[in-house]
């Protein structure tokens, strides 16, 4: 499969000699080819996954499968609509995750091991997969019931209160995630290097960020990839450094990585992102309300509050997300460029900045010469050569 990915990557990269020449200033031909091979396979997996998702929901909607599952759920639940919806949604979620499991296992485990990026055993991978599924059950089933409560009460304008409530839930999750969800997947310990911690705190002060907790995450149990981030709000705010980053980067380089993350805070990207997400969600739910009425008129569901309409809702959100993905990524890449420029001002070390970009691209197997379509459709960050150019 690595050879197939390399052939695919070579094909999509044809016709970009200028980009390749720029890449050769920082990377060897072998590093460029390896990154193209790895990312070429990821591009392909994205396409396959999207087709599988689309086919799954279309079959549920237009074949009797969804209505049969609804009838079975209602038979088990008796005259309790909330229980029927819960059973239906739980079965739908389980079927969906099991359908995608082979792709997730191949892309997230076997392929990561094939490229030397994963340190996690198969048992550990499945434990994480199970934790993720359990989290989805805990978070999604009550959310779906709340959503359908509004649908049943007002089939025409349910998306207005539903959007408001979901916005609150998004904010609560952003606040609580560092202390309730993140520890399920990583063990966090206070950063032991006192000198580095002092530099990090002083950097945060220059960025206008009040933070006391500087933590180290045991990412090396799962991956060789390096990362760092600032997360949480108020009492849950913390700076997190992957142990993989601490093992391979100098203090100057760690400072550059964190300066970028703090740049996001300086520009209030998190709040802007949440605001844009809430607006987009309300618009998407409004469109879903129209689709519900269309599905009811076509006999696909008995009424807007029909549990069998859940695949219709998910398909609507999926298609809207797919269609708007280029726009979402334009905004995301703009935020990342702002954070890169903030990092240059905060850390004031252009050489360390360039070295970090090159080292992270090498260790994470970045595509140093990505095709334009991939950048437009899939890249939340600018390509590495653009980020290096900003520093130069």
Rg from Cα positions in the chain: 23
Give the highest mean pLDDT range of 164-178, 225-239, 365-379: 365-379
- The answer to whether the CB of 104 falls within 8 A of the CB of 129 is yes
Whole-Å CA distances, 362 to 13, 108, 373: 18, 19, 22
The per-residue pLDDT for range 305-357, each reduced to its tens digit, is 899 999 999 999 999 999 999 999 999 999 999 999 999 999 988 999 999 99
**10 Å Cβ neighbour count for 157?**
12
How much is the pLDDT for 304? 86
For 59, residues 6+ apart whose C-beta sits below 8 A from its C-beta are 65
Is residue 341 within 8 Å of 390, Cβ to Cβ? yes
- Is residue 283's pLDDT more than 70? yes
Nearest to 360 by CA among 242, 222, 189: 242
Query: For 95-123, what is each residue's pLDDT tens digit?
Result: 999 999 999 999 999 999 999 999 999 99
CA–CA gap between residue 392 and residue 386 (Å, rounded): 10
Confidence (pLDDT) at 171: 87
Spell out the alpha helix ranges (H) of 348-382. 350-363, 372-378
Percent of the chain with pLDDT over 90: 78
- SS3 assignment, position 118: strand
Euclidean distance between CA atoms 2 and 215, whole angstroms: 36
pLDDT (0 to 100) of residue 16? 60
Least confident of 176-190, 293-307, 362-376: 293-307
Q: Which DSSP helix (H) or strand (E) runs through 141?
A: helix 122-153
Average pLDDT of 148-163? 91
**Pairing relation of β-strands 188-190 and 228-231?**
unpaired
β-strand partners of 189 = 216
The DSSP bridge partners found for residue 118 are 223
Contacts of 124 (CB under 8 A, 6+ apart): 221, 222
Categorize the per-residue pLDDT at 15 as very low, low, confident or very high, splitting at 50, 70 and 90. very low
Give dist(CA 384, CA 362) in Å, integer.
Answer: 10
228 phi/psi in degrees, rounded to 5: -160, 155
Q: How confident is the model at residue 20 (pLDDT cuts 50, 70, 90)?
A: confident
**pLDDT score of 17 more than 90:** no
Q: How far apart are CA 88 and CA 134, in angstroms?
A: 16
pLDDT per position as a tens digit, 219-230: 999 999 999 999
Q: In this predicted model, what pLDDT tens digit does every residue of 46-69 receive, in sequence order? A: 999 999 999 999 999 998 888 899
Dump pLDDT digits (tens) for 196-252.
999 999 999 999 998 889 999 999 999 999 999 999 888 889 999 999 999 999 999
Whole-number pLDDT of residue 78: 86
The Cα–Cα gap between 322 and 330 comes to 14
For the four alpha carbons of 108, 104, 134 and 315, in that order, the dihedral sign comes to positive
* End-to-end Cα spacing for the chain: 36
Residue 67 CA to residue 20 CA, distance in Å, equals 53
What b-and-e string marks burial along 25-40, b requiring 16 or more CB atoms within 10 Å of the CB?
A: ebbeeebbbbbbbbbb
pLDDT at 29: 94
Classify strands 228-231 and 238-242 as parallel, antiparallel or unpaired: antiparallel
* Kind and range of the H or E run holding 1: none
Residue 133 scores a pLDDT above 70: yes
Is the pLDDT at 9 greater than 80, yes or no? no
Residue 306's nearest CA partner among 88, 160, 62 is: 88
User: What are the angstrom distances between the C-alpha of 170 and each of 143, 176, 221, 271, 336?
Assistant: 11, 10, 29, 11, 22
Give the 3-state secondary structure of residue 303.
Answer: coil
Mean model confidence pLDDT for the chain: 91
pLDDT score recorded for residue 14? 40
Residue pair 144/82 in contact (Cβ under 8 Å)? The answer is no
Contact 366, 384 (CB under 8 A): yes
**Percentage of the chain lying above the pLDDT 70 cut:** 96
Return the pLDDT at 247. 93
């Amino acid at each position: 499969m690595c050879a197939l990915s390399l052939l695919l990557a070579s094909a999509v990269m044809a016709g970009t000699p200028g980009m390749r020449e720029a890449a050769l200033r920082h990377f060897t031909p072998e590093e460029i080819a390896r990154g193209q091979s790895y990312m070429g396979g990821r591009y392909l997996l994205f396409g396959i996954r999207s087709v599988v998702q689309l086919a799954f929901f279309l079959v549920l909607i237009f074949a009797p499968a969804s209505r049969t599952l609804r009838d079975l759920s209602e038979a088990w639940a008796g005259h309790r609509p909330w229980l029927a919806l819960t059973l239906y949604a739980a079965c739908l979620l389980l079927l969906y995750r099991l359908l995608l499991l082979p792709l997730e296992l191949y892309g997230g485990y076997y392929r990561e091991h094939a490229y030397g990026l994963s340190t996690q055993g198969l048992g550990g991978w499945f434990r994480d997969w199970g934790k993720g599924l359990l989290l989805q059950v805990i978070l999604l089933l009550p959310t779906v019931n709340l959503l359908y409560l509004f649908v049943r009460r007002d089939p025409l304008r349910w998306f207005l209160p539903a959007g408001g409530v979901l916005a609150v839930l998004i904010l609560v999750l952003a606040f609580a995630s560092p202390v309730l969800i993140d520890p399920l997947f990583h063990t966090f310990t206070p950063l032991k290097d006192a000198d580095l911690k002092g530099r990090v705190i002083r950097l945060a002060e220059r960025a206008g960020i009040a933070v006391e907790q500087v933590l180290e995450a045991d990412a090396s149990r799962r991956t060789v990839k390096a990362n760092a981030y600032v997360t949480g709000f108020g009492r849950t705010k913390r700076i997190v450094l992957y142990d993989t980053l601490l093992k391979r980067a100098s203090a100057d380089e760690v400072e550059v990585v964190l300066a970028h993350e703090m740049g996001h805070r300086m520009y209030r990207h998190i709040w802007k992102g949440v605001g844009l997400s809430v607006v987009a969600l309300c618009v998407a739910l409004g469109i879903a309300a129209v689709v519900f009425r269309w599905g009811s008129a076509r006999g696909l569901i008995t009424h807007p509050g029909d549990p069998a309409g859940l695949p219709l809702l998910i398909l609507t959100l999926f298609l809207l997300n797919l269609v708007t993905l280029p726009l979402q990524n334009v905004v995301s890449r703009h935020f990342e460029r702002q954070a890169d420029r903030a990092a240059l001002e905060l850390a004031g070390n252009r050489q360390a900045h360039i070295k970090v970009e090159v080292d992270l691209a090498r260790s994470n197997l970045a595509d140093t010469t990505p095709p334009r379509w991939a950048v437009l459709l899939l890249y939340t960050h600018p390509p590495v050569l653009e980020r290096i150019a900003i520093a130069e």
